[in-house]
Chains A and B, each alone.
Chain A
Amino acid sequence: MSEILVLVEHADGDVKKVTLELLTLARSLGEPSAVWAGPGYTDAAKAKLAEYGAGKIYVAESEEIADYVVAPKAELLAKLVSEASPAAVLVAATAEGKEIAGRLAIKTDSGVITDAVGLGEGFVADQSIFGGGVNVRSRVTKGTPIVAVRPNSTAPVAEPGAGAEEKVEIALSDAARGAKVVERVKQERGARPELTEAAIVVSGGRGVGSGENFSIIEKLADSLGAAVGASRAATDAGWYPHQFQVGQTGKTVSPQLYVAAGISGAIQHRAGMQTSKTIVVINKDSEAPIFEIADFGVVGDLFQVVPQLTEEIEKRK
């Protein structure tokens, strides 16, 4: 079986769910090798990567890798591509993952595909473009296929791999040390899952009416263990922070379940959520375009429907 490199996304020593999805996907196309970049590698991380099928785990723990923006991770992957000649490289299609993929493509003279929602034989990738209006199949034609895969494209399934560790030392070039991270500022809100990789997202829009009212969106999200999102109307009004904006100029999400409350569903919003597997809509305007893509919709006042839904979910737990 041919080797496929999977760049591990991790935070505070934990492997993120999207990496388990990528390992699962890589197993269907070859033999996955996980690539750990930066400090924080733990036995628990190793066990997790092996549990989901990593045959090898390349570990590059240098502090320096995390000290500079993007370029060190691209250099690390380029070194591994040249040494291991893998069949493909998979990264998560996060903002940073795509940037790493872009730099790696240049370093290895390879094509890159971003925002794949599926990946099949011959590394032909499925993409959903133009706000979900067109489905495209594309593939890399030069070099080593580099594919950035959207979170929630595959359900992670455990299937143990050998998890053989291989330490990697890397001497970064001066060019990779150009942009230094001098401080990381955390602005997390509660213990909710990360928006782009959450299995469930509950979003509020113009209909929510104020920042205070977003508490009812948050309560519904918490009852479902979901992330909170917001439409551009809500973030422009300052009701919810910009990093939670779902849509064309914000985050693209593709969860199992997307609940839209008080969101009309302009194309700019749909572009960020149309590939969600199940969509539930609550809006008082029965003509709102978001109903066109709803699997289940309630025409009603979100201030009545959302709290009742939250209460009912809590009751059923």
Chain B
Amino acid sequence: MNIVVCVKQVPDTATERKLRSDDKTLDRDAADGVVNELDEYAVEEALRLKEAHGGEVTVLSMGPAKATETIRKALAMGADKAVHLSDDALRGSDALSTSYALAETLKKIGFDLVILGSESTDARTGVLAAMLAERLGTPQLTLANKVEVDGSAIAIQRVTDYGYDKVEASLPAVVSVVEKINEPRYPSFKGIMAAKKKPVETLAIGDAEISADQVGLASAWSEVVDFAAAPPRAAGTVVKDEGDGGVKAAEFLASKKFV
């Protein structure tokens, strides 16, 4: 089975994240880049499926040159090879452009199964997997907390508000995973060393036959009008419990008409 797992480098949530004042895009230099957390679950699931069914795991990442750190981490976990889609023309791409660029690349490199984290910690749109399924014309198996493959049949549990749906489809398909699906492995020392020798193919947009007029900030389908740091919340009242903390909290709730 040819599994492609999409990973994204995101600014570390623990550092201060900013938008650039000039073009209102994410300031990627302001914060440390890390692997999007949910993508680690996607990599782990890809590796488990490969271990159970055989095949190959390819990492696909779209991002600037520094995203190679993220690609190496996925390779160190055990993926076989990587494709790095990197081109200045892609900077500022929105979800529509990103899904277009990734879909074109996926068509070029081929796949039986595409796996992604269900959302990124920076943009948090949660739309990319659905958009890829739409663009590729393949089944959408998203928000999975369990994935089972049997030959060309695939079944997932899709997390819903009331529990989950059991969903069935045929490969090729697009899967997105939620956090509780597995426990991502830590790269071993051996894995980290091996990752340095694994092939990483870097593609520019022309290599993947991506049209320049469909990607990048100038072609985006939406725009940031303006932005500002959120004003700090007005300081609240904090009391120390002297045996009546619950009563005081109830009085506060009553003053706000919640009780």
Contacts and interface: CB of A to CB of B under 8 A. Distances in A.
B153 to A, nearest CB: 11
B252 interface: yes
Contacts of B19: 134, 136
B189 interface: no
Contacts of A141: 220-223
B141 A69 contact: yes
A296 B165 CA distance: 39
Question: Which among B16, B239, B258 has the greatest number of chain A C-beta atoms within 10 A?
Answer: B258
Interface string A118-132: 000000100011111
A298 B249 contact: yes
A132 to B, nearest CB: 6
A106 B245 contact: no
B249 A309 contact: yes
B224 interface: yes
A70 B140 contact: yes
Contact of B163 (A185, A248, A252, A310): A185
A99 interface: yes
A257 B253 contact: yes
A137 B241 CA distance: 41
A178 interface: yes
Given A70-B130, A139-B222, A179 B141 contact: yes
A299 B94 CA distance: 44
A307 B135 CA distance: 52
B259 interface: yes
Contact of A304 (B179, B226, B241): B241
Contacts of A224: 253, 258-259
B127 A133 contact: no
Contacts of A128: 230
B186 interface: no
A69 B227 contact: no
A98 B135 contact: no
Interface in B171-212: 173, 178-180
B249 A280 contact: yes
B230 A298 contact: no
Interface in A103-122: 103, 105-107, 109-115
Interface residues of B, number: 85
Contacts of B16: 133
B168 interface: yes
A71 to B, nearest CB: 6
Contacts of B180: 235, 242
A181 B143 CA distance: 13
Given A257-B258, A312-B250, A111 B163 contact: no
B106 interface: no
A50 interface: no
Interface in B27-44: 37-38
B225 interface: yes
A194 interface: yes
Interface string A256-292: 1100000000011001000000111110001000011
A196 interface: yes
B2 interface: no
Contacts of A107: 134
B245 A183 contact: no
A313 B254 CA distance: 9
A135 B224 CA distance: 11
Given A143-B221, A185-B165, A188-B163, A299 B238 contact: yes
B110 interface: no
Interface string A174-201: 0100111111111110000011100010
Nearest to A271: B13
B41 to A, nearest CB: 9
A45 to B, nearest CB: 18
Nearest to A278: B256
B53 interface: no
Contacts of A291: 236, 238
Interface string B224-245: 1111111001101111110111
Given A106-B131, A185-B157, 7 more contacts: A98-B126, A115-B124, A179-B169, A182-B167, A297-B236, A305-B249, A309-B246
22 contacts: A101-B127, A102-B99, A102-B125, A103-B140, A105-B95, A106-B131, A109-B221, A112-B125, A112-B222, A138-B225, A181-B166, A182-B166, A224-B258, A224-B259, A248-B37, A282-B249, A292-B233, A293-B233, A294-B236, A298-B240, A299-B240, A309-B247
Top 8 nearest A-B pairs (CB, nearest first) are A300-B241, A308-B246, A102-B127, A111-B221, A178-B139, A187-B163, A312-B250, A99-B130
